Amino acid sequence: MIKMMQRSVKLKLNLLLALWCCTTAVSGQVVPSGVENDLIDKLWDAVGGRENWQNARYFMFSCTGGQHSFAQGERKYLWDKQTGDCRFDGVTTDDESVIVLFNIETSEGTVYINNTKLGNPRTTSDIIGEITEEFNRDAQLLFLPTVLEGNQVSYHITGEKLIGSQRFTVVDVKNKHTSFDASIAGQLYVDSQTGRMHQWRPSDGTDGFYIGDYKAIGSGLLLPTRFTGSDTTASITYPIAAALTHIEGQKFSRP
């Protein structure tokens, strides 16, 4: 009788386990382990905290380097994280000054070449498309530490990697919709003691970056400002990076 009860209990437990596994597979979600949750908390702490990031709205940043087809030299952005409005100031490869006032979510906006509004709708649309791609590439690195935000992100610790004398935790991460309106996937090498990112390896096969020069940008936030690629022409630095409490509205509507 006791053996029969034991079999019954064991069968019920197996059924519950099978049901849990099936539910997890169907939902496509894996519950993070305690170790993973601790690491994620450290990642957020390393940049000033999730709450500070969520409360920050306006950002101003500039960057140099990287391989870009439309703009040359220093690229400057103002970005409203809440509305998606963005302003780009730069110089084209034809040595013309360009200002693009657009929205990263709708891809609508206005283009000014040498302070003259561009009247051709198709050319305007093409340039906004180019600048939106520029923004996505540049924002993706600067705001990489916030890649774990949102409800479309998945991550998993795959192991550890010894680089020199330092050991890093390797995290596979994928986010289909980041706060800067882009999809991103790859491997992060994280210092499990400090929570700071050391290396980024994109899943699309493009060159990865070593990450450094964390700087305070305001609003209690810290972000990395130097990304060094194996190909030096791909390296990117951010001379300006700031979280602002206020931006004049005309910055997004007038050149």
Least Cα distance to 36 among 200, 222, 192, 199 occurs for 192
pLDDT at 18: 42
Judge whether 227 lies within some domain. Answer: yes
Q: How far apart are CA 116 and CA 81, in angstroms?
A: 27
pLDDT at 32: 57
Other beta carbons within 10 angstroms of residue 209's beta carbon come to 23
pLDDT at 4: 44
With beta carbons less than 8 A apart as the criterion, state whether 189 and 198 touch: yes
pLDDT at 50: 93
pLDDT beneath 70: ranges in the chain: 1-33
Residue that the structure tokens 């791609």 belong to:
133
Judge whether 24 lies within some domain. Answer: no
pLDDT at 245: 93
With beta carbons less than 8 A apart as the criterion, state whether 179 and 81 touch: yes
pLDDT at 163: 85
Judge whether 17 lies within some domain. Answer: no
Read off the pLDDT of residues 149-165 as tens digits, 9 standing for 90 and up: 888 888 999 999 988 88
Judge whether 87 lies within some domain. Answer: yes
Q: What is the 3-state secondary structure (H, E, C) of the chain?
A: CHHHHHHHHHHHHHHHHHHHHHHHHHHCCCCCCHHHHHHHHHHHHHCCCHHHHHHCCEEEEEEEECCCCCEEEEEEEEEECCCCEEEEEEEECCCCEEEEEEECCCCCEEEEECCEECCCHHHHHHHHHHHHHHHHHHHHHHCHHHCCCCCCEEEEEEEEEEECCEEEEEEEEEECCCCCCCCEEEEEEECCCCCCEEEEEECCCCCCEEEEEEEEEECCEEEEEEEEECCHHHCEEEEEEEEECCCCHHHHCCC
Domain count along the chain: 1
Residue that the structure tokens 């386990």 belong to:
17
Read off the pLDDT of residues 183-226 as tens digits, 9 standing for 90 and up: 899 999 999 899 999 999 999 877 899 999 999 999 999 999 99
Residue 78 phi/psi, 5-degree rounding, is: -120, 135
Stated pTM of the model: 0.83
Least Cα distance to 230 among 202, 255, 193, 197 occurs for 202
Kindly report the CATH number assigned to the domain that includes residue 220.
2.50.20
Judge whether 2 lies within some domain. Answer: no
Range of the domain at 203: 34-252
Judge whether 1 lies within some domain. Answer: no
- The one-letter code for the residue type at 145 is P
pLDDT at 207: 82
Judge whether 109 lies within some domain. Answer: yes
- 236-244 vs 221-229, strand pairing mode: antiparallel
